[in-house]
Amino acid sequence: MEAAARQRSAGSCEGSLSDVVHACWVIYQKAADAYRVLANNAMSEEITELWRGMAEGMSKHILYWKKLSERVAKDPTIEVLGNPYTALEQLREVEARIDQIQESSSAFRSVLDYFYLAYSIEVQLIHPVLCSLPESIMLVPDRKVVKWDYQTNLKRFLTGMKKHCEPHYLHAALTDSLERMWVQNRWLAQQDSVDPVTGAHNRRSLQKIISSFSSLAERDGHNVAIIMVGIENMHELYTSFDTKTADEVVQRFYNGIKPGIRVSDILGRYSFSTFLIYLSKVNHQYLYDIAERFAESAQSIHKAGFALSVHIGGSYGQVRGQAGQRIGYYYARARDCMMRARLSRTQRIIIE
């Protein structure tokens, strides 16, 4: 475990969203390079144009990840993945497979061989992580990135394969399975509502549920509140231990704070290092007492000398008219309080 920890500590924040986005960028660059090689080795002008079109299509996706990388670099507080470390490991496996596919191309001789090579690349490019990350980015307010749409490229390849490969039940099965994988992975990315580490609601699920609950609170005239609990040393946790051990610490933290809220309250994992609680019928003192219990729960968790450090922010008030916009205001204010608590040397909890 110590060797793994030293290896993971080589980068100060390896596994952050910035690393994940960069890995996606590299994968699409390698795919574009592979299609350029295919274009140079094609046996007819028509097929050459197909591979060139695929390479040009990849350029649009490279631009997407490039712009997203620039935005994440400017705002390192953006966190949309339940566990970027696991995502990064999976993306490295995808990159390694693409490298292996390219290396094997030297032994290919026929048009069919090259279509099989391209098919193998396309299977990697619809990996669940590559499908889910853009869907997660859609949840970030004021996103300023080019639209991600891989379906156009995929259709171009499938049309080319059906046209240039001889009719055969195996080829039909391959194209059908690729289309199904794409649809299924996109659907799962859009429907995903559970954090895989804790089993709690994720950001997408929280936003849907809280939207409904806030409308009820507006109707009944109750106060509502948002509490955000940030684990300040989350990245340190994942660079100090292997992923499985670090996940277990996060699970213990979640299980420790869950009994501290009422059945009517909603607890979920808002981002990699932040848990969010929605409450109604509350006042300032009640919120502060809950926040204190959360902080005490974090302090009670130790692993090989490592202790979690949390900063907590909260906001509350009434929902009056345009419930969605008002809840958005409490989100923003709770996050601001949490960040101020993190920067403060004297306060770990700020409730306003």
Q: Distance (Å, rounded) from C-alpha 278 to C-alpha 264?
A: 9
**For residues 319 and 46, which has the higher predicted lDDT (pLDDT)?**
46
Fold annotation for 203-351: Alpha-Beta Plaits (3.30.70)
Contacts of 244 (CB under 8 A, 6+ apart): none
Assigned token pair, 302: 């130790």
Which residues make beta-bridge pairs with 229?
275, 312
- State pLDDT tens for residues 218-231: 777 788 899 999 99
- State pLDDT tens for residues 72-82: 777 766 777 77
- State pLDDT tens for residues 287-313: 999 899 888 888 888 777 788 889 999
CB of 30 within 8 A of CB of 102?
A: yes
CB of 15 within 8 A of CB of 84?
A: yes
Given this model, what pLDDT does residue 140 score? Answer: 63
Domains 2-191 and 203-351 share a fold: no
- State pLDDT tens for residues 154-183: 899 999 988 888 888 888 898 899 989 888
- Boundaries of every domain in the chain: 2-191, 203-351
Give the CATH H-level superfamily of domain 2-191: Ferritin, core subunit, four-helix bundle (1.20.1260.10)
